[in-house]
């Protein structure tokens, strides 16, 4: 291709339909099961789902999760188990968003949103504590100042966990088998799942 032919090709592309997105003013749609920023969920009664078992920390290949459990106070339990997550930290300078922590969690406590834009100004901001990760009283994730949240990015929180629970058992195929969440109730069925199916039907 000659010199002028190259310029001609470039000039011709000026009139083609654009395929780029004017980010950050506009975002491209994200996949339903995008692995984004984690959250710690709560049941509809407000109790924390995390029981401090530390399985998520044990399975993490990046060693970015630190959990310490503590016995539940008998007069005012934090979680439905004997223990609860007293300390919970995720270091996002290490996290690779593999989602193994979500699959390992026996209580569906740790899940992921579709939000993945971070803009840290210092290293300490990248270490999320339990206060940062735990959903609010309305069940929605905390919105920290350096996070770029857009409408709808919390709607499919825990989609990946719900698609693989419980542990890939074939008898649960097409069944809604996940628990309800504070502020959202029982999440809607995903592709291949139906609202009227239940775990009870799978056990028959």
Count of structural domains, the chain:
1
Q: Is residue 196 domain-resident?
A: no
Whole-prediction pTM value? Answer: 0.76
Q: Are 110 and 40 in contact (CB under 8 A)?
A: yes
Residue at token pair 């905390």? 142
DSSP H stretches of helix in the chain? 3-13, 55-59, 100-104, 130-133, 159-164, 199-203
Q: Is residue 26 part of a domain?
A: no
SS (H, E, C) 176-193: CCCCCECCCECCCCCCCC
Neighbours of 159 (CB within 10 A): 22
Burial class (CB in 10 A: 0-12, 13-18, 19+), 103: middle
Q: Is residue 97 part of a domain?
A: yes
Domain span holding position 69: 32-141+152-187
SS3 label, residue 145: coil
Q: For tokens 């491209």, name the residue.
A: 28
Structure tokens at 142: 């905390």
In a domain, 116, yes or no: yes
Residue 199 lies in a domain: no
Residue 73 structure tokens: 């106070």
**Which CATH number belongs to the domain containing residue 114 in this structure?**
3.30.70.3270
pLDDT in 10s for each residue of the chain, 204 residues: 567 777 888 878 778 887 788 888 888 888 777 888 999 999 888 899 999 999 999 999 999 999 999 999 988 899 988 899 999 999 999 999 888 998 888 888 998 888 888 888 888 999 999 999 999 998 889 889 888 888 878 877 877 666 655 555 556 566 666 778 888 887 766 665 555 544 444 444
201: in domain? no
């Amino acid at each position: 291709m000659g010199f002028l032919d190259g310029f001609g090709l470039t000039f011709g592309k000026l009139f083609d339909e654009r395929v780029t997105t004017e980010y950050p003013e506009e975002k491209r749609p994200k996949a339903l099961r995008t692995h984004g920023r984690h959250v710690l969920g709560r049941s509809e009664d407000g109790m924390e789902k995390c029981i401090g078992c530390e399985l998520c920390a044990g399975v993490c290949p990046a060693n970015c999760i630190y959990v310490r459990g503590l016995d539940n106070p008998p007069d005012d339990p934090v979680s439905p188990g004997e223990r609860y997550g007293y300390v919970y930290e995720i270091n996002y300078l290490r996290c690779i968003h593999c989602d193994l922590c979500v699959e390992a969690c026996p209580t569906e406590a740790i899940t992921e949103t579709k939000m993945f834009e971070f803009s840290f100004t210092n290293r300490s901001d990248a270490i999320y504590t339990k206060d940062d990760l735990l959903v609010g009283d309305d069940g929605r994730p905390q919105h920290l100042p350096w996070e770029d949240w857009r409408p709808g990015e919390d709607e499919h929180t825990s989609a990946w966990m719900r698609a693989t629970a419980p542990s890939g058992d074939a008898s649960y195929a097409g069944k809604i088998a996940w628990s309800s969440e504070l502020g959202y109730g029982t999440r809607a069925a995903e592709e291949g799942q139906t609202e009227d199916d239940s775990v009870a039907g799978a056990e028959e």
